[in-house]
Structure 1
Amino acid sequence: MDTDSDFSASTSTPTPPGRPRKRLNPTLGKARNMLRDALSDARLQPRGTASSPPPLLLVACSGGPDSLALAEAASFFARRGDYRVGAVVVDHALQPGSAEVAAEAALKLRRMGLDPVQVRTVTVPASGMGPEAAARTVRYAALDAAVEETAADAVLLGHTLDDQAEQVLLGLARGSGTRSLAGMRPVRGKYLRPLLALRRSETEEICSSEDLDPWFDPSNADPAFARSRVRAEVLPFLEDKLGPGIAEALFRSSRILANDADYLDAVSADTFARLRTPQGRAGDTQGADPNTILLPEAPLRELAPAVRQRVLALAAVELGGAQPSYERLRSVEALLRRIGSAGPVELVGKVSVYRQVRTNPVPQGPSGYGNLVFRKKSST
């Protein structure tokens, strides 16, 4: 058993008698270290306790190099008995032969010793959100179902540094804010992305060294998809014109922006909790109308714009609305200048925002003059 805490210089786990020990590929050792650190950061301690089994990890695997490399790294911890490691292969049924690709991926995972290994076939709806977003929605629904069915402690996702760089560029192209430019979170609930600092070429190296024969999704080279164009054209162009290291620079920017976004989000959440006033019902000092939130104008004006816009967005989301766009938030902020219309400003999710005037009390409540009123429209 390998007890070395740094796998990059260690050898593989023992092989059967009479067979030579295979020297550990340094990049695979690097991936193991990344996974170990991610699990430690997520407080998923190995081996469990005397009264409970080791934590169960599920690798979300497409059969591509990134997720296969992650599965290979995770299988080491399963062999040591530190964790139970299974996998979920989601077949989106979007391409001819997808069922065969999924079955082959599942076979490779079982040969690694992963258990349980599930193949889940999903139907991607033809919705207005676009094929990539629709596929992502049903994929995570399938993974959530697998977590519930197996009582898994975590799902491991194989996103790499290159994926993060592409995400940042796409956010820039959309004119997104700090949170979007921070890219994908290393941890989101039970979902962990332990390989975000690993290059895609390194996952391919791991697959080559371990004879894993990964599947390469043809849609990744389809110029119909924006992410594919960023991968095949935009990033190589930037590397050519600005020099090597663009992907790493974008990754570093995402980490810096993630710290900034986390701080601003925390400050904004505290500020929203301090300022918000659920509108009381007339004659009822105990109850509150869940469809109305008041935010006092004067304190809002004093806030830094980065915090104020987040507070306004939190009010909309609290009432069940969608995250407002930058343009909609600017329209809400314009109400604070008390010039022109008092609203309402309509937000996605049937939430309206207006400035309360003296002659128009809040419905079913006392006057809200001096406040911005966020109100969720009734669905009836």
Structure 2
Amino acid sequence: MSPDGAPGARPRTATEASRLVGARPSGPLARISLAVRRALVSSRRPPACVLVGVSGGADSLSLALAAIDVGSRNGVPVHCLTVDHGLRPDSAEEARRVADLLVRLGADSARTAPVRVDSAGGPEAAARFARRHALAARAADLSDGTAVLLGHTMDDQAETVLLRLARGSGTGSLRAMSPDAVDEEGLRWIRPLLGVRRADTREACRQAGLAWVDDPTNLPDGPWRAADGTALRRAAVRARALPALADALGVDPVPALARTAALAARDDDALDALAGAAWRTAVDADPAGAPVVPVADLAGLPPAVLSRVLRRMLLVAGARPSDLSAAHIDRARDLVSDWHGQGPVDAPGARLAREGHGSGARLVARRAPAPPPVRPA
């Protein structure tokens, strides 16, 4: 079968991946296999079909190996996609070799997807966006209910927490990467390896006799640079900040940082539930459909809950989530807790205003007014 082979072209029986993993894997390979089995078979919502994003690195390769094995033993079709960012002369050939290997391991299909990365706004974010778009497009071509599997590890989670701590993030951001989440388009993203160390993925590949690709962009002196010419932030955190923190503390900080993400996720879910209850109780809509709420109904809410209600009002009105900052929410909260006659809060795509006086005051969120037409010179 070619790398673009049709789904279901092989029987759901033994595969090369299953032979390499074995009936009773041990050590790191066993930990990865168990993590994948929990995601694909033992979870409350086992996916009917999965698409694995495989860069060729040890993390994603060990994930694909375990997924193909578990899928073949349990009747779950496993497809793979390798995204070629086109940033190195040999990247297309490298991606093709990865796809060929995945076919040999027993994937139902293994394709490559060339993408164009516009690094003007930062290469890391641009590459991440391109990968997600390619994976989402491929998942849409497969059967309904296809979930995307990503190979992020506990070390990746710790790096994410540290990066967000440096930005002064709240619980919603410190929860970092979710092990299982559905995006706004309804696509499910699963990260089975968030409880597994990066070193385990390398050792698992060694156990299976698989050679992985080391991406030079993960190195602080790699080919990509930040906008100011310094090392990419995540690469610098990985190579310098975490080792320095371990040296200063005398203990590996990765498990504690990953635990912070899990605790933040739990707290964030609780705050979201409280905000949801407040929304259902207090928020209404005006005749035009704009969310509206009496200020008196908001005044007694804890700041964390109030912020979530106001953010939701702006989003419902048309604010763009990626452009809605903490500064916008802080100014929106001041309309309730620090009112001194200030004007509306303008956020990208929406406007939140305080209307009325005294006990009749209310907050209304509306779509942002269109900019005035540009007059010809």
Please tell me the TM-score bracket, short chain as reference. 0.7 to 0.9
d(CA) in 2 for partners of 1:90 and 1:212?
20
Offset of residue 336 of structure 1 = 1.9
What displacement does 1:180 show? 0.9
Distance in 2, Cα, partners of 1:332 & 1:81: 51
Per-residue Cα deviation, 1:307-329 (whole angstroms, up to 9, x for no partner): 00111011111112034322222
Distance in 1 separating the partners of 2:152 and 2:19 = 29
Match of 1:178 among 163, 171, 178: 171
Matched with 2:286 is: 279
* Cα distance, 1:171 vs structure 2: 0.7
Report the alpha carbon displacement of residue 115 of structure 1 after superposing the two structures with TM. 1.5
Q: Out of 101, 107, 127, which is 1:135 matched to?
A: 127
Decide whether the 8 Å contact of 2:343 with 2:353 is kept in 1.
Answer: yes
Distance 1:279 1:358 in 2: 17
Cα offsets for 1:187-234 (capped at 9, x unmatched): 112211001000000000011111211001111113521000100000
Among all aligned residue pairs of Structure 1 and Structure 2, give the percentage whose two residues are the same amino acid: 38
Q: Distance in 1 between matches of 2:74 and 2:162?
A: 40
Residue pairs, 1:15-30, within 5 angstroms: 24-30=25-31
CA contact (8 A) 1:295 1:372 kept: yes
SS at match of 1:302: coil
- Among 137, 159, 170, the alignment partner of 1:166 is 159
Count of aligned pairs between the two proteins: 336
| Residue 85 of structure 1, CA deviation | 1.3
**Deviation (angstroms), 1:174:** 0.8
Aligned to 1:306: 304
Give the 4+ runs in structure 1 shifted more than 4 A: 12-15
Q: Letter of the aligned partner of 1:118 in structure 2?
A: R
What is the letter of the counterpart of residue 77 of structure 2? R
Give unmatched runs, 5+ long, in structure 2: 1-16, 183-187, 222-230, 372-377
Partner of 1:246: 253
Report the counterpart of residue 283 of structure 1 in structure 2: none
Aligned residue identity for 1:240: D
> Residue type of the partner of 1:374?
A
2:56 to 40, 43, 63: 63
Give 1:64-213 correspondences, 5 Å limit. 64-128=57-121, 130-151=122-143, 153-189=146-182, 190-213=188-211
Q: Tell me which residue corresponds to 1:231.
A: 238
Pairing of 1:254-265 with structure 2 (within 5 A)? 254-265=261-272
Contact 2:18 2:68 in 1 (8 A): no
Report the Cα offset of residue 330 of structure 1: 1.8
Letter in 1 for 2:141: E
The answer to whether the Cα contact below 8 Å between 2:51 and 2:78 also exists between their aligned partners in 1 is: yes
Change (3 A) 1:372 1:23: closer
Distance in structure 2 (CA, Å) of the matches to 1:79 and 1:337: 57
The whole-number CA distance in structure 2 between the counterparts of 1:14 and 1:139 is 30
**Counterpart for residue 356 of structure 1:** 355
In structure 2, C-alpha distance between the alignment counterparts of 1:193 and 1:202, rounded to whole Å: 15
TM superposition shift of 1:183: 1.0
CA distance in 1: counterparts of 2:24 and 2:308, whole angstroms: 52
Instruction: Give, in angstroms, the shift of residue 74 of structure 1.
Output: 1.2
Rounded to whole Å, the distance in 1 between the matches of 2:338 and 2:268 is: 30
Aligned-residue offset at 1:135 = 1.5
CA-based RMSD of the aligned residues comes to 2.2
Match for 1:356: what amino acid? E
Question: Who is 1:376 aligned against?
Answer: 367
Q: Aligned with 2:213: secondary structure?
A: coil
Higher relative contact order (CA 8 A, sep 6+): 2
